[in-house]
Every structure is written in structure tokens, then in C-alpha cells.
Amino acid sequence: MPEQHQPVIEVVCIDGATLPKYETEGAAGMDLRSIEAVALGPLERRLVRTGLRIAVPKGYEAQIRPRSGLALKRGISMVNTPGTIDSDYRGEVGVILINLSQETVELDAGERIAQMVIAPVAQAKLVAVDELDQTQRGEGGFGSTGIK
């Protein structure tokens, strides 16, 4: 397999944040950590600070995704997933967490709360037309192809 270009992400760590890192050699995402202790009640959502400001190169995005372990073990997910950090955003990366469990969940400062995947993006050119080409599927959607 050909070697892929490794984009360089400049990072400013504020308020005691640490650089994200890949936890294993084959990991697609870097873990993001909270810089604050948070208690989330059932169905409560909150913007949780990471203390990171990043500069994503043009032609890439940073996708912020939930951590599967937090979802399974504690019922914590993200409201908008994946979240997108655009290449021209320079503010602090925040993670909108939601507690889908029936009890309050406490997260410590420094706890891994999400993962960040760097992915290439393309901006499309939209062209207005009067009709679209026909396909076998046509307008079928929302389960129209069945479940088995």
C-alpha cells in the first residue's frame, strides 16, 4: 500500500490541556480529554472543554466522534456526531456530550471523552439542473432497500 501524506496539525494547549495522541499503532482517532470535571444527569447535554485550539490544514477536517467504551459502559455519547472542525476554525475544540443513561455520570478532568479523526474533504461544485438521471433505486430511501 502506498504511503499516505501525513498532515501536520498545529495545536495550542490552554488551561492545562495535553496533546492528543493515538493510543495504539492502528488507531484511526486520537483521544481527546476533558480539562474539567463534569457531572451529567440523565439526558443532560453539555459542551465539555478540551483546552485545545487546532489549525487543520486546508483540504482536511477534524471529525470529533464518541468513544465506544463510554457509550457502552456509561451511556455517554455525543449529540452531533461526528462533529466537524473546519480548516478555518481557530477556537477551542469543545465536545457536546449527552448522558443517555438513567443515572448521573461523573467525568473527571483528564478523562478521555471523544476521539478526533483527521480526514480529507472536497468542496463540490453544485450545478442546477431540471432533472436528475434515473437509477434503479430512484427515490427510495429510509429503509426502502429492506433490512435483510
Using an 8 Å Cβ cutoff, are 50 and 109 in contact? no
Using an 8 Å Cβ cutoff, are 35 and 67 in contact? no
Per-residue pLDDT of 74-130, as tens digits, reads 999 999 999 999 999 999 999 999 999 999 999 999 999 999 999 999 999 999 999
- Tell me what pLDDT residue 3 has: 58
- Tell me what pLDDT residue 19 has: 96
Residue 136 pLDDT grade (very low, low, confident, very high; cuts 50, 70, 90) = confident
CA distances from 45 to 23, 36, 100, 143 (A): 27, 15, 9, 29
pTM of the model: 0.87
Distance of alpha carbon 85 from alpha carbon 92, whole angstroms:
10
The full DSSP string for the chain is -PPPP----EEEE-TT----B-SSTT-SSEEEE-SS-EEE-TT-EEEEEEEEEEEPPTTEEEEEE--HHHHHHH-EEESSSSEEE-TT--SEEEEEEEE-SSS-EEE-TT-EEEEEEEEE--PPPP---S-PPP-SSTT--SSTT---
Distance of alpha carbon 74 from alpha carbon 28, whole angstroms:
22
Q: Return the C-alpha cell found at 48.
A: 465539555
Altogether, the residues listed in the chain come to a count of: 148
Domains of the chain: 28-120 (2.70.40.10)
Average pLDDT, whole number, for the chain? 94
Residue 4 pLDDT grade (very low, low, confident, very high; cuts 50, 70, 90) = low
